[in-house]
A and B are shown apart, each in its own frame.
Chain A
Amino acid sequence: MNFQASDEQQQLADSLARVLQDHGAFEQRRAISKTEAGWNPALWGQLAQLGVTALGIPEAYGGLGRLDGQDEPGELSGGAVDRQLAMQAFGHALLLEPYLASCVLGATAVREAASPAQKEALLPGVAAGEALLAWAHDETAGRHAPLWVETRARRTADGWRLDGVKPLVLHAAAAGHCVVSARLHGQPDEPDGLLLFLVDTRNTGVSLRPYRLIDDTPAGELSLRDAPAQLLGQDADHARAAAAIKTTLAAGSAAACADMVGSMACAFELTTAYVNTRQQFGRLIGEYQAVRHRVADMAVHLEMARSMAFAAAVAADDLAAPGALADMARAKLAIGRAARALCHAAIQTHGGIGMTEEYAVGHCLRRIHVMDQLFGDEAAQARRLKP
C-alpha cells in the first residue's frame, strides 16, 4: 500500500495551486464565466506551460505519460493517478477551462481508439494545450447507462456519415473536433456495433447549440445529420471501440472523483475560515458545539472521499485488475454522497451568505452536483455493485 504522491506529482500540484490562486481565483472565475467563451484561454496557456495538459498522453505523442512510446492501449498508466492532484486543484478552483473535456476524455478516447497516424495528428496538439477535443458520448435515453448509443454510423462512398444527437458535450464550442460514439449495428445498450469517430464541428451536417451547465461550465448539444466523420482506428473494430469507451468513462469518472474532492476541500476551507471569523451572540460561531460537530462531520466526509478518489484513480489506470470495476463504482458512489453532504453542511454553516451567487461555497455544491451526474450518479453506481 502506498498513498504518497510522487515528488513530481506534488511539485506539479504546488505549481498549479500557485497559478490557480493568481489567475483562477473565484472573482476572476466569476468574471470569466460571464464572457462569451466562458473560459479563459490565458489561464489555459499557463496550465499548458506547466505540462499538466500532457499528462496521460504517451511520450511518443508529445505527452508526459509513462507509456514510453509503446502503442498498445491499456498497457499502463492511463494517467489518472498522475492527474489526480491536478484534478483536485481544478475542483478546488472550480475550473472552467476544458481540462476534463479535452485532456481527460478526448485524449483518452483518441489514445485508446485511434490509429498511430491519427494519434500523431491529434495528440501532440492536445498535449501542448493548442488543440482541444471534446467527448460526445452520452445520450438522453441512456441516462446513466454507460454504453447506451443510438447515434447511427453509415459507410458511404464518400466515407463515414453519422446521424444522432449528443445532448451533453463539455466544451463542444471550443473544441475543433469531437470524439463521437456511434453504432453500426445492434441495440442501444450493446457493446457490439459501437465505433468511435472524429467529427469536425465546422462540417456541414453538424449543428451545435451551446449552453452552460449549472456550474457555469461551457457545454453544447451536438446534432448530427448525415455528418461526415473520420473513423478512429484503422478498421471497424467494435471490441476496441467499446473498450476505449469504457476506459474513457473510467478516466472521466476518476477525474470527477478527484474534482469533487477538490471542491469539497474548497467548501470545507471556506467553512472553517468563516466560523472562526463570524460572530453571533457575542462570540465566534466556531465556538458553538453544534457548529463544531458539523465541521467534524465534514472532516470525516472529506477524509473518506480523499481515500476513495485515490482508489478511483488507481482503478481507472488498470481497469482489468481484480476489484477495479468495483472500486470505480464504490468511489463515485461514496464520494458523490460525501460531497453532497459536505456541501450542504457548508452552506448551512454559512447561513445567508452561503446562499448568494457572489460567494463561492454555493458554487461548490453546483460543481459537485454536475460531477455526481457525469459518468453515473450515486444510484447508477450502486446498481453497478453486485447485491
Chain B
Amino acid sequence: MTDSLNPLELSAAQAIFRDEVRDFVRTHLPPEIRERLRCGYAARKQDIVTWQRLLHTRGWAAPHWPAEYGGAGLGPAERLILQDELQRANAPLPLPFNITMLGTVLLKFGTEDQKRFFLPRLANQDLWFCQGFSEPGAGSDLAALRTRAVRDGEDYVVDGQKIWTSSAHLADWIFALVRTGQGTRKQEGISFLLIDMRSPGVTVRPIISIDGEHHLNEVFFDGVRVPVANLVGEEGRGWDCAKYLLSSERTGIANVGLCWERLDCARQLAASVQQGGQPLLSDSKLAAELALLEADIRALELTNWRFLLDPDTARKTPGFASVLKLKGSELMQELTTLIARIAGPAGLERRDAQSADATHPLAAAVPRYLFFRAATIYGGSSEVQKDILAKTILG
C-alpha cells in the first residue's frame, strides 16, 4: 500500500490505525452507552469506567503514555485519530482528569513511586480523580487561590474551598492546587497535591447547573491531613504543573470528532422533525446554517491537523491552543444551540436524564444546549484565551 498523494488524507499506516479503532469500537462499545451518547446525553460514571477498561486492554485508555505505565505510546497524530474516532462513534473518552491531566503531570513531575502507584490505577479506572483548581475568588485568575496547606510533620494540613468541581461527588481522589507559601508573584508558593476524598474533613456539596443536572460541586477542606508523599513536583512549584497540564493538552482541545457527530445528529433530527407537514431539513435557512457549520468544522479540523504537524508547534503552542479552544468551544455551542432549536416545542418537556428510558431522541437537546454554555467558561474562559492569544501577537 502506498501513501496517498493527497496531502489531506491520512497516511496508509494512520488509515490502518483508524480502521482498527473503528473496528474495536464497533465490536466492543456496549449498545446502551452508544445510544445514550447518540441521544446527546453525557456519559454516566459507569459508562466511562466500563468503556475505559475495555480501551485499556489495547493501551488506548492512556494512548500517549509509555507502555511501561499502561499506555500505548501513541504519537500526537494517532492520539488525535483515536479521539476523533471515539467521538464520532458515540464512545466516551477516557476520563480526562485521569489521563490527559493528572497522568500527563505525573509522567513529567511525579516521583517513581507516584507513577508506579497511580498511573496503572488511573488507566484502569480503579481511581476516579477530579480537578480542584477553581475557588470562589479564583476563577480565571487561578493564581489568586487561597486554599492553604500547612506542613505538620509528615503531613500537610489543608483548609479551604474549591468550587465548580466537576464530578467531585463521583471521585475517589482530587488533584488540587493549594497555597503552601507566599512568593513575590502570586504564582509562587502554590503546590500540587493529591488528596483522598475519603479523608476526614473533606465535604462535597452539589451545585445543580442550569440543565437541572448535578455535574458540579463545592469541595470543602477542613483540617484535612495529606501525606507529604502526595505532593507532586516541588513544594511551591505547583504552578509549573498546572501550566504544563493546561498547555500539554493541544490535540483534543478542539473536540472536532464531537463537532462532526453533533452535526450528523442535527441533520438526522432535522430530517425526522416535521414542520407544517414537511421535514424541517427542507427549510432553506436551516440548510444554510448546517452548511456554514460544516464549513467551519472542516476549517477547525484542518487547523487542528495543521497546528499538530507544524514543525514549530512547541513554540507556537500557547497561541495555537487558544485558537483551537476558542473556535472549538464556539462551534460546540452553535451546534448544541441549533439542535435545541431543531427539537423545537417537542424538546420542551423536562425529563429525568438519569431515568432508565433516557433515550428519547429529543429529550437531551435542551439540557445539553444549556450545559454547553459552560464550554466557553471552563478550561480557560474565552476571555482568558483571547488574552493569551493577543499576548502572543501584540506582546
Using known A-B contacts A334-B298, A387-B290, determine if residue A321 contacts B6 with beta carbons closer than 8 Å. yes
Cα A382 to Cα B310 in complex, Å, equals 30
Determine if B170 is an interface residue (Cβ-Cβ < 8 Å).
no
Shortest A118–chain B CB gap in Å is: 29
Determine if B377 is an interface residue (Cβ-Cβ < 8 Å).
no
* Contact assessment for B292 and A311 in the assembled complex, using a CB-CB cutoff below 8 Å: no
* B269-284 Cβ-contact flags toward A at 8 Å (1 or 0): 0100000000001100
A381: chain B residues within 8 A (beta carbon): 291, 295
Shortest A381–chain B CB gap in Å is: 7
B77: chain A residues within 8 A (beta carbon): 1
Q: Which of B342-395 contact A (CB under 8 A)?
A: 383, 385-387, 389-391, 393-395
Closest residue of chain A to B322 (Cβ to Cβ) is A296
* Contact assessment for A296 and B390 in the assembled complex, using a CB-CB cutoff below 8 Å: yes
* Contact assessment for A387 and B302 in the assembled complex, using a CB-CB cutoff below 8 Å: no
* Contact assessment for B327 and A300 in the assembled complex, using a CB-CB cutoff below 8 Å: yes
A33: chain B residues within 8 A (beta carbon): none
Using known A-B contacts A3-B305, A337-B292, determine if residue A304 contacts B299 with beta carbons closer than 8 Å. yes
* Contact assessment for B394 and A2 in the assembled complex, using a CB-CB cutoff below 8 Å: no
Which of B11, B302, B389 meets A308, CB within 8 Å?
B302
A292: chain B residues within 8 A (beta carbon): 386-387, 390-391, 394
Shortest A85–chain B CB gap in Å is: 14
* Contact assessment for B302 and A333 in the assembled complex, using a CB-CB cutoff below 8 Å: no
Cα A2 to Cα B311 in complex, Å, equals 11
Stretch among A119-127, A191-199, A324-332 lining the B interface:
A324-332
A310: chain B residues within 8 A (beta carbon): 7-8, 302, 306
Shortest B18–chain A CB gap in Å is: 12
Cα A321 to Cα B5 in complex, Å, equals 11
Shortest A141–chain B CB gap in Å is: 20
Determine if A275 is an interface residue (Cβ-Cβ < 8 Å).
yes
* Contact assessment for B295 and A300 in the assembled complex, using a CB-CB cutoff below 8 Å: no
* Contact assessment for A308 and B8 in the assembled complex, using a CB-CB cutoff below 8 Å: no
Determine if A305 is an interface residue (Cβ-Cβ < 8 Å).
yes
Using known A-B contacts A292-B387, A296-B326, determine if residue A334 contacts B7 with beta carbons closer than 8 Å. no
A4: chain B residues within 8 A (beta carbon): 309, 311
Which bracket fits the contact residues of B?
35 or more
A293: chain B residues within 8 A (beta carbon): 383, 386-387, 390
A170: chain B residues within 8 A (beta carbon): none
Shortest A350–chain B CB gap in Å is: 15
Using known A-B contacts A1-B77, A303-B323, A333-B292, determine if residue A272 contacts B393 with beta carbons closer than 8 Å. yes
Cα A150 to Cα B115 in complex, Å, equals 73
Determine if B287 is an interface residue (Cβ-Cβ < 8 Å).
yes
* Contact assessment for B295 and A331 in the assembled complex, using a CB-CB cutoff below 8 Å: yes
Shortest B323–chain A CB gap in Å is: 5
* Contact assessment for B288 and A382 in the assembled complex, using a CB-CB cutoff below 8 Å: yes
B298: chain A residues within 8 A (beta carbon): 308, 311, 327, 330-331, 334
Which of A275, A276, A296, A314 meets B8, CB within 8 Å?
A314
A311: chain B residues within 8 A (beta carbon): 8, 298, 302
Using known A-B contacts A1-B9, A307-B306, A314-B8, determine if residue A296 contacts B299 with beta carbons closer than 8 Å. no
Determine if A379 is an interface residue (Cβ-Cβ < 8 Å).
yes
Cα A289 to Cα B140 in complex, Å, equals 15
Cα A296 to Cα B287 in complex, Å, equals 29
A164: chain B residues within 8 A (beta carbon): none
Closest residue of chain A to B14 (Cβ to Cβ) is A1
Determine if A221 is an interface residue (Cβ-Cβ < 8 Å).
no
Shortest A380–chain B CB gap in Å is: 11
Shortest B230–chain A CB gap in Å is: 38
Determine if B300 is an interface residue (Cβ-Cβ < 8 Å).
yes
Cα A34 to Cα B356 in complex, Å, equals 74
Determine if A172 is an interface residue (Cβ-Cβ < 8 Å).
no
Closest residue of chain B to A315 (Cβ to Cβ) is B8
* Contact assessment for B326 and A333 in the assembled complex, using a CB-CB cutoff below 8 Å: no
Give 6 CB contacts A-B under 8 Å.
A296-B390, A299-B393, A303-B323, A304-B303, A314-B6, A383-B288
**Residues on A facing B (Cβ under 8 Å):** 1-4, 81, 272, 275-276, 286, 289, 292-293, 295-297, 299-300, 303-308, 310-311, 314, 318, 321, 326-327, 329-331, 333-334, 337-338, 379, 381-383, 385, 387
**Residues on B facing A (Cβ under 8 Å):** 6-11, 77, 267, 270, 281-282, 286-288, 290-292, 294-296, 298-300, 302-303, 305-306, 309-311, 319, 322-323, 326-327, 383, 385-387, 389-391, 393-395
Q: When A and B form their complex, which 5 residue pairs have the shortest distance between CB atoms, in order from nearest?
A: A292-B390, A387-B287, A382-B291, A296-B386, A307-B302
Given A304-B296, A314-B8, A327-B8, 19 more contacts at CB 8 Å? A3-B309, A4-B311, A81-B7, A272-B393, A292-B394, A295-B389, A300-B389, A307-B305, A307-B306, A308-B299, A308-B302, A310-B7, A310-B306, A327-B298, A333-B291, A334-B298, A383-B287, A385-B291, A387-B290
